[in-house]
Chain A
Amino acid sequence: MSDLISMTLAEARDAIRAKKLSSRELTGAFVTAIEAARPLNAFITEAGEQALAAADAADKRIAAGTMGDLEGLPLAIKDLFCTKGVRTTAASKILGNFIPPYESTVTQNLWDAGAVMLGKTNLDEFAMGSSNETSHFGPVFNPWRASNSNANLVPGGSSGGSSAAVAADLCLAATGTDTGGSIRQPAAITGRVGLKPTYGRCSRFGIVAFASSLDQAGPMTKTVRDAAIMLKTMASVDPKDSTSMDVPVPDYEKLLEGGIKGLRIGIPKEYRVEGAAAEVDALWTKGADWLKAQGAEIVEVSLPHTKYALPTYYIVAPAEASSNLARYDGVKFGYRAPKARDITDLYERSRGEGFGAEVQRRILIGTYVLSAGYYDAYYSKAQKLRTLIKRDFEQAFEKCDVLLTPSTPGPAFAVGAKTSDPLEMYLQDVFTVTVNLAGLPGISVPAGLTSNGLPLGLQLIGKAFDEATLLRAALAVETAADFKHSPAKWWSV
């Protein structure tokens, strides 16, 4: 059975297509594994029964020969995607028992292709965090532990439940969302693949919004091939999202072939930052060597405004969030504080009691930077910096096709290690956040282990809507890294 759950998405798909395996069998194995892995706290809502019913329906379609691209394949869904009839929480108390009467476009695309939902994964509250410690439903533990310690580590965030679920073989693949690094950072520190597509590639319809101009859904998978398979189905041109780009979705898996001979790989010199682990730098150099060995050309490029990306992000994202989260007011859905004296009291206490500390902090930051007298100094300035950051990339892409950088400044850290200082936590996104500000695609690929056995990733950044080239380069890194490690299953004793 552990063989079943450790399969890649592509392997499971091929086995099901070859009728060597039923969806029921596969889904059952995952349902059992999820129950056994409850100590990880990767799921907020398990949907075992519903999953088995969906698997049976998939098996019928398989028997009838009407198979979708992901027929019968069990997936985990970040609990930020609205799922019709299934509680959606955004890991917040304020959504209470919210049952969406609609389905997000991305998940609908998955179900239309025949995929099976195993449950809704944990995350940082409203996707605000880099360690999955801000969840109202408690922290998620990283399946990985250092070789010299039994301390619980964070799985990254905000898509920490998804990263843990993929790394612990609790699903074939999972969905995530990435606003400043929330797919790539958790994927990197759990030793798996995380892809943030170009802004506008996957519809945002039905995804609980954090920062609208930065949010983008993407896959979290075991392999680059699996990411290509998932993206093809998740992506679509959606008339319900005005920012969904009108560009056809190619068959990314087919475009994986062909190698990287002649591909120009840019190494941005500004990504050597103080505070990053020495092993991170070493791995980055190694990554460049791997690609060079496969025929790519390595070029040094400059992204001069890189160091301004994080502070820019911490103006833009909270500003948008402060507005996006105004709808949680205890009136239409979700938590309402009891015995309100009047409407203002109802608002203030519902929101004060319903939102956690980090969300409140960001709402306050966002409210402040948009308030009268500060707009120009903060929000307007930050949006101008975004233009400069985007220009940096455009200029770099005149010299190269794909950029190679580290994914994170270091490996997974201990639960509680960075919760006292928000700034230290924010630095987790130092390598990933530029990509969101510029709306580009980025992918983290597992590339090695630290000396104490914790995974590290390398990030590749592509041109807008050129996920195909990005995935091809990612496959080259994956092949060279030959990362075959998995965490010891300490949670299921």
Chain B
Amino acid sequence: MSVDKDTVRRIAKLARLAVPETRLEPMAGELNGIFQWVEMLGEVNVEGVPAMTSVVAQKLKWREDVVTDGGQAAAVTANAPDGEDNFFVVPKVVE
């Protein structure tokens, strides 16, 4: 399958990346080059092969239900580009 300009535009929208109109076509070309190369995976029959869901062979660790964190609103918001009264501030969101 091949990626066209509109696909790049759609994907960029999903990824919330402003890709300038003039970059869409070249980007489609680059991505196509990569996806054509990836097509070689088609040669491999993976029927019945389980997908890898964990690299390490161990059970998920469980944490005890105790409060060990928080109480640091100032630190949490210290790096924010815009903030007020320990809130993060963004342009108005309409629901």
Does A touch B (CB under 8 Å) in the complex?
A: yes
Binding site for B on A (CB under 8 A): 96-99, 101, 199-200, 213, 239, 242-243, 245-246, 305, 307-308, 311-312, 314-315, 322, 326, 329-336, 340-349, 351-353, 355, 360-361, 363-365, 367-368, 371, 378, 380-388, 390, 422-423, 439, 464
* Complex-state Cα separation, A334 to B81, whole angstroms: 7
Task: Output the nearest chain A residue to B56 by Cβ-Cβ distance.
Answer: A200
Neighbouring A residues of B66 by C-beta, 8 Å: none
CB pair B18 A383 closer than 8 Å: no
CB pair A364 B31 closer than 8 Å: yes
Neighbouring A residues of B61 by C-beta, 8 Å: 239, 242, 246
CB pair A385 B44 closer than 8 Å: yes
CB pair B91 A381 closer than 8 Å: no
With beta carbons under 8 angstroms apart, the residue of B50, B60, B91 that contacts A343 is B91
Neighbouring B residues of A311 by C-beta, 8 Å: 37-38, 40-41
* Complex-state Cα separation, A348 to B31, whole angstroms: 20
With beta carbons under 8 angstroms apart, the residue of A333, A368, A383, A387 that contacts B11 is A368
Q: Interface digits, B33-60 against A, CB 8 Å rule (1 contact, 0 not)?
A: 1100110110010100111111111101
CB pair A331 B33 closer than 8 Å: no
Neighbouring B residues of A380 by C-beta, 8 Å: 51
CB pair B52 A387 closer than 8 Å: yes
Task: Output the nearest chain A residue to B89 by Cβ-Cβ distance.
Answer: A331
CB pair B31 A365 closer than 8 Å: yes
With beta carbons under 8 angstroms apart, the residue of A243, A329, A385 that contacts B46 is A385
A385 to chain B, nearest CB (A): 6
CB pair A344 B16 closer than 8 Å: yes
Q: List 20 A-B contacts (CB under 8 A).
A: A98-B79, A200-B55, A311-B40, A312-B41, A336-B81, A348-B16, A351-B15, A351-B17, A355-B17, A361-B27, A364-B19, A368-B11, A385-B41, A385-B46, A386-B51, A387-B50, A387-B51, A388-B46, A388-B49, A422-B33
CB pair A384 B30 closer than 8 Å: no
* Complex-state Cα separation, A311 to B40, whole angstroms: 8
* Complex-state Cα separation, A334 to B79, whole angstroms: 7
Secondary structure of the A contact surface, majority rule? helix
Binding site for A on B (CB under 8 A): 3, 7-8, 11-19, 27, 30-31, 33-34, 37-38, 40-41, 44, 46, 49-58, 60-61, 63, 72, 75-82, 88, 90-93
CB pair B88 A331 closer than 8 Å: yes
Neighbouring B residues of A383 by C-beta, 8 Å: 51-53
B30 to chain A, nearest CB (A): 6
CB pair B91 A342 closer than 8 Å: yes
B16 to chain A, nearest CB (A): 4
With beta carbons under 8 angstroms apart, the residue of B30, B58, B93 that contacts A246 is B58
* Complex-state Cα separation, A76 to B59, whole angstroms: 34
Neighbouring A residues of B8 by C-beta, 8 Å: 364
Task: Output the nearest chain A residue to B18 by Cβ-Cβ distance.
Answer: A352
* Complex-state Cα separation, A429 to B33, whole angstroms: 18
* Complex-state Cα separation, A115 to B30, whole angstroms: 44
Neighbouring A residues of B46 by C-beta, 8 Å: 381, 384-385, 388
CB pair A382 B41 closer than 8 Å: yes
